A and B are shown apart, each in its own frame.
Chain A
Amino acid sequence: MQLKQYPAPHIRMSQTTRGVMADAIAALSFLYAMAFYYHGPRSLVLGLFSVFVCLLCDILCSAISKKRYNLRDFSAVVTGMILPLMMPASVEYRIVAVAGIFAIVVAKVPFGGVGHNVFNPAAAGFSFAAICFEDALFTYPPADLKLPLWQTAEFTLATSPAFVLQLGGTPGYDSMSMLLGKYPGPMGATNILVLIACLIYLVSRGTVRWSMPVSFFATVAVLAFAFPRSAAGGLASVGFELATGLLLFGGIFLLGDPVTTPKREMSKVAFGITSGVMVMLFRHFGNMEEGITFALLLMNAAVWGFDMVGERIARWMRRKKLGTLEGEKIPKKA
């Protein structure tokens, strides 16, 4: 018998890394379709360019570390697809390249690559780009403006409703415009209806567990109601907080990353709640209009704590025969 050594956890599931990545790519494709509808072919070219940069970095890093590159691993493609969707459609190609290089070369490969990265590569890449190019990343073209492939300086860029909220104002867009994404904002984060459809698709496929996004969005909603940033009141503030900026997009595609989140169900819920609190703290006290990526990076660093505490609680519950909180009951001895 041949014994093979693998790192823990030793749980086998029918779900594969390739399947998870394929689901994410399918969901992100819908957002690219919407971005193409609103901003023209530039959005698609940005996406392709970003995927190319991320793949190239991944292959080069594999070559440097003398590892065989796994062609069936689509993680670099997913990272490459996520990055431009968090940016305005008018963003320069070199900014996308910087974010992609940082995501792969700094946030992914040094930690051991797929399945081992501590921080979400896309969140890290976007955060670095946001620190370096704050003006370029937080000014957006009008929603239904078709952009040329290369020149972007011929039209006026506007601020997003998230910026208005940060200043304590009330965004002047009606509910339908907010739902359909007809306002200046990140390329893939404004189409609320499509994002909700993506969430339903990913949850139904089992790629994203429902517990984390639900606890995350619920926490944000409760905090937005309790401490509204908008003068329009608590209920309106809940809508604005959830619909503006990268919150919904991040809650689905960044928070749902199975590698950088806790393993147990109750840890996931706790992680979602804490992430919600952290995001709202960044939104209330942060300098930038968008702090979700920074909040998630901080939370990524604390995942081991959630896992450790969750495991201890689960072990205690097993000993006390209280069930597992994962939906299954421990059978009693006959």
Chain B
Amino acid sequence: MSDSNDGIVLTEEQKRRRRARSIAIAVSLGVIVVLFYLVTLVKGPAVLNRPL
């Protein structure tokens, strides 16, 4: 059974922009992971021990 007519078919431009958005989200998540890693190194064992 062919499903070529089912659902929304993205144009090349839409695919390109979706790919760019996906890369941006991946980079942002990577930055957050690296940031938490660095701060953990900087703060050491005190990372979870701070005054409110």
- Is chain B a partner of chain A in the same complex? no
Which residue numbers of B lie inside 8 Å of A, CB to CB? none
Which residue numbers of A lie inside 8 Å of B, CB to CB? none
